[in-house]
A and B are shown apart, each in its own frame.
Chain A
Amino acid sequence: MTKVQLKGVRKEFGKFVAISEIDLDINSGELVALLGPSGCGKTTTLRMIAGLEVPSFGQILFDDQDVSEVPVQDRNVGMVFQRYALFPHMTVEKNVMFGLKVRGTPTEEIKHRLEEILDVVQLQQFRHRFPAQLSGGQMQRVAIARTLITNPSVLMMDEPLANLDTKLRGEMRRFIRDLQQRLNITTIFVTHDQVEAMELADRVAVIFNGKLAQYDAPDALYQRPNSIEIADFMGADNIYEAQISAGRAKTAFGELQLDQLSNPVRDGVGHVLLRAEAVDLLLEADAASENVIPGKVTGREFFGATVNYTVECNGETVTVNEQSRRMVDVGQDVWLSIQPHRIWVIQDTA
């Protein structure tokens, strides 16, 4: 249970700037995801919090105390490495017990906690194996068990699910979430998968090129990204240039009425973001609907539960996602409709 704060943290490797400036507040017991493309500085940020890397500038605070002078082994943090970093010469059991042994925990207590954690991560039957004899998912769980057994006050995980297959990923996600909620540990985990970040995290910190681009709850990040890059990274399909005036957005395919209450806008240029699942597909023009745009279906992708339509509207393509209760044929004339409060406008803050 520790509050973690990064204040104006910058990290340079020689002349190379890995992190240009990051401010981050992580509440006690919160689960935060660091999300960003490869090489943006996620691992570096974790390593600085752990104390493996010293920030070039700025401060890192645990519960409002500067930890710059606290050596790594006294920070009581836990870290699950991107490549696990298990001790290859020790069995699963010895790997897991290592943290308690070096801290001089009494043998009886070590034994007790070992059994407990092996049950939690379901590794009882592999306890005498060496890391080289385990699968990726098993190694992963050893790495997590080895860290959790020490009761860290901050738990960090560097792409903990990257090397697992889809089914195991799902299982491990739920496992991590349950565990985190049960133990209520402040947790920071790194991922470059936006779905994973949204599913697991209380808040997501998006990092681009060593800068914090946005730090928000998953739904806010998804519905209300503050830049086109973030919208793009969060998997948005429909982003269009627009001219905004008097609460209306003029786009290549028509004018859209905006909802000034949920999304105050300035007059001028900007971009509108239409989430694919927020757009309704109508088979005939409906005067009662708002923001109706005529178009023609030019493509269809079937995913089982949902289906994606590509709709051509006056030269622009709009992707529409709906539940596959019905099928609309390619070539059919359709009308798109979107409610004003579902439209998000991105404008430069300048």
Chain B
Amino acid sequence: MPTPKTTELARHRKERMWMWLQLLPVLAVLTVLFGGALVLAVMQSLGFAPWFGVNTFPDFSYFAALWGGGFFWKSLGLTLYYATISTLIALVLGTFLALALVRHFPSKSLYKYLYKLPLMIPYTVGIALAVIMLGNGGMLSRIFAFVGLIGDPSEFPQILKTHYGWGVIAVYVWKQTPFVTLTLYAVLLGVGRETEEAATILGANKMQVFFQVTLPQILPGIVSSTLIIFAFNIGAFEAPFILGGGFPDTLPVVAWRYFNDADYTLQLQGMATVVSITLIASGILYSYLALYRRYERRIGRN
């Protein structure tokens, strides 16, 4: 006689198979679109490009050439520097804005629309704005000259096209602060004000309330939003291309220069660059997530 346990198991097996069946279309699309592209990129970077008459697969010389050249590491440093600094600034500004938005203040509804504006304006427009505002001969320099802080607009300190990358960072921050704000605002609404009020009544000051009560509760939102903007910043191309300081460029710009070269065999070198970016970015993002998971487990969330 079959025990009830066996039938239960059989049902579970059926349910699991049904689940896989339902997932199949999605998995197929994911595999072809992302997996396929990734495999192709890796193959090319290892010397497989018969359509250019090149096929030396597997050939690590493109990576060797890239990683052996000193400029690669400088480029990597620049890429990470722009990405990290702008992510951090956007995070701090976005958190402040989100915290402000859950409180009551006059004309709040106007601000709630205003701050989302950059989200709807394309990056290229942002870059153009940066050029108009921050360049030598731009608005800011003219205003400075006009009020007599500097003698001539050309004396204005160089903001764009330096390796400090203030222009690049400004554009990223301008575009991504609203994104962080939007994410954290939604999380804060879900968390509510009550735990903050309880903490205040228990005697906590503003800093203690933020760091010990609010921050841990909005951390999932912070992690996901910074993850997304950091990943974007590592791979972004237009802003550092137009507003960056020239050689050494950030890695995506390096890759683009290879792809754009008259010597089309350099495309393989470009692919090696792209694959390197992917490896580094996924390594960083994975470690970030793993760190966060460890923290979550430590505070008992599963």
Residues of B within 8 A of A90 (CB): 299
How many angstroms between the C-alpha atoms of A50 and B197 in the bound complex?
10
Q: Which of B49-57, B204-212, B234-242 contacts A (4 or more CB under 8 A)?
A: B204-212
Q: Out of A72, A76, A87, A89, name the residue touching B301 (CB < 8 Å).
A: A89
The size of the chain B interface, using a CB distance under 8 A, is 19
Binding site secondary structure of chain B: helix
Closest to A99 in B: B202
Whether the Cβ atoms of A98 and B301 lie closer than 8 Å is no
Q: How far is the CB of B15 from chain A (nearest CB, A)?
A: 27
A102 to B205, CA, bound (A): 8
Interface check B195, CB cutoff 8 A: yes
Q: B194 contacts which chain A residues (CB < 8 A)?
A: 81, 83, 85
> Which residues of chain A have C-beta atoms less than 8 A from B205's C-beta?
73, 102
Residue in B198, B200, B203 whose CB lies within 8 Å of A103:
B203
Q: Mark B155-192, 1 if CB is under 8 A from A, else 0.
A: 00000000000000000000000000000000000000
Interchain CB contact (< 8 A) of B198 among A75, A76, A79, A130: A79
Let me know if B300 and A91 touch, CB within 8 A. yes
- Interface flag for A147 (CB, 8 Å): yes
Q: Are B195 and A87 in contact (CB under 8 A)?
A: yes
A150 at the interface (CB under 8 A from B): yes
Please, how many angstroms separate the alpha-carbon atoms of A67 and B299 in the complex?
Answer: 38
Asked if B200 and A72 sit within 8 Å, CB to CB, the answer is yes
B203 pairs with A102, CB closer than 8 A: yes
B61 near A: Cβ within 8 Å? no
Whether the Cβ atoms of B203 and A99 lie closer than 8 Å is yes
Q: Is the CB of B201 within 8 A of A73?
A: yes
- Is A102 within 8 A of B198, CB to CB? no
How far is B299's CA from A52's CA once the two chains are assembled, in angstroms? 29
> Which residues of A have CB within 8 Å of B213?
87
Does B204 contact A73, Cβ atoms closer than 8 Å?
Answer: yes
Chain A interface residue count: which class? 20 to 34
| A72, A73, A79, A147: most-surrounded residue (chain B CB, <10 A) | A73
Contacting pair B195 A130 (CB below 8 A): no
B216 at the interface (CB under 8 A from A): yes
Q: Report B's interface with A, CB cutoff 8 A.
A: 194-195, 197-205, 208, 212-213, 216-217, 299-301
- Given A83-B194, A87-B213, A99-B202, 19 other A-B contacts at CB below 8 A? A52-B197, A72-B200, A73-B200, A73-B205, A77-B201, A85-B195, A87-B195, A87-B199, A88-B195, A89-B299, A89-B300, A90-B299, A91-B300, A98-B202, A98-B204, A102-B202, A102-B208, A146-B198, A150-B202
Q: What 9 pairs between A and B have smallest CB-CB spacing?
A: A99-B202, A85-B194, A102-B204, A85-B198, A89-B216, A72-B200, A103-B203, A102-B208, A73-B203
Q: List 20 A-B contacts (CB under 8 A).
A: A50-B201, A72-B197, A72-B201, A73-B201, A73-B202, A73-B203, A79-B201, A87-B199, A88-B195, A90-B299, A91-B300, A98-B204, A99-B203, A102-B202, A102-B205, A102-B212, A103-B203, A146-B198, A147-B202, A150-B202
